[in-house]
Amino acid sequence: MSGWKTFSLAEVASIERIAIQPEDIAKGTAYLGLEHIESGGAILGAKAVDEGELASSKFKFTERHLLYGKLRPYLAKIACPDFAGICSTDILPVLPGAKLDRSFLCHFLRQQKMVDFANSRTTGANLPRLNPSTLAEFQIPLPTLSEQRRIASILNKADAIRRKRKESLRLTEEFIHSTFLEMFGDIPAKKSAYDFGMIRGLVSAQSGKSSNQVLSQEKTNIPIYGGNGINGWATKSLFEENVVVVGRVGQQCGIIHITDRPAWVTDNAIVIRVTDDKKLHPIYVAEALQRSPLRSNVEKLDLPFLNQSVILDYPIPLPPLDRQVEFVRIREKLFNAKLKLGHSNSKSDDLFDSLTYRAFKGEL
């Protein structure tokens, strides 16, 4: 790597597990758990602690520390806070020494190669954790401090671009949701300008079929939809028209997808097709069901899976068809914008990955 000398993490940084007991945590202290850090390191917002709220010891950190999520390290929850506080003991505060730039270290540890390496060194099958002593042994090639800062600055700018594009994607999705709320109301709260009614009699519902006999080893034009979206490719289709796909088991329960071409749907999902197109638009049905608490309804009824009756008998607003079509047109424009943003975001990710690869080969 351009003659860079390699050091273990322990030689250039300290893993500081300075514990603080619950009774010593001041009210209002900023607290970070793993749930407050996204994959890739974005901090979603620290929680201000109420007096006596936390029942176990935590680690202290400052704005100079890097925070490394040791539980399930494949999630790459590696953050650089700009504030001091306390964190879960599943997060390791790492304090860079005089030879190491924190941002450089952060990008180094977040690169996929190092995430995969960390994951390969975990212990525990159900809750894989990286031992602090193992993290301390990680080898880090280091250029001069000024060169580290130059590389980190380039990667920070590229990362900021892709984060802004991801935020644009999130806001587009949020706008679709807020448009639905404004036009049709809040389904879980049963608040709408329109009468609620069941879709039974206006749609048909059936289970998909096993895809074992139609699986393709190569990508085709016919996707296979399960409860969690496209999970394979088929040699023939089960449905020629676009249909609403509702996940019916496990973590997929109540997740909604809409096919956009001939497709196969597996028996992990229920297929909803509009039979009265003078009263319902299929995309409106999908969006309404997406906002209905189908999963919690299944849990209330203590069912092992989502059955057709739960869907057919769950009341949703039934606005006039022209109002539904108006929403579908707005959604289509927003969805097309989202697709363009997604394509742009993919390019940003590729650029960032390429820059990161070159950076740690000494080629930037």
Q: In what side-by-side order are the strands of the sheet with 203-207?
A: 203-207, 269-274, 244-247, 256-258
The answer, yes or no, to whether residue 18 has pLDDT greater than 60, is: yes
The whole-number pLDDT of residue 340 equals 76
Task: Tell me how far apart the alpha carbons of residues 189 and 141 are, in angstroms, rounded to a whole number.
Answer: 56
**Could you read off the pLDDT of 132-184 as tens digits, one per residue?**
999 999 999 999 999 999 999 999 988 888 888 877 778 888 888 999 999 99
**Could you read off the pLDDT of 35-89 as tens digits, one per residue?**
999 988 989 888 898 866 788 999 999 999 999 999 999 999 999 999 999 999 9
Q: What is the pTM of this model?
A: 0.63
pLDDT bracket for residue 344 (50, 70, 90)? low
**Could you read off the pLDDT of 246-262 as tens digits, one per residue?**
998 877 888 899 998 99
pLDDT bracket for residue 263 (50, 70, 90)? very high
The whole-number pLDDT of residue 80 equals 96
pLDDT bracket for residue 306 (50, 70, 90)? confident
The answer, yes or no, to whether residue 127 has pLDDT greater than 90, is: no
Share of the chain above pLDDT 90, in %: 67
Delineate the domains of the chain, giving CATH numbers in brackets: 5-142 (3.90.220.20), 145-185+320-364 (1.10.287), 195-318 (3.90.220.20)
The answer, yes or no, to whether residue 341 has pLDDT greater than 80, is: no
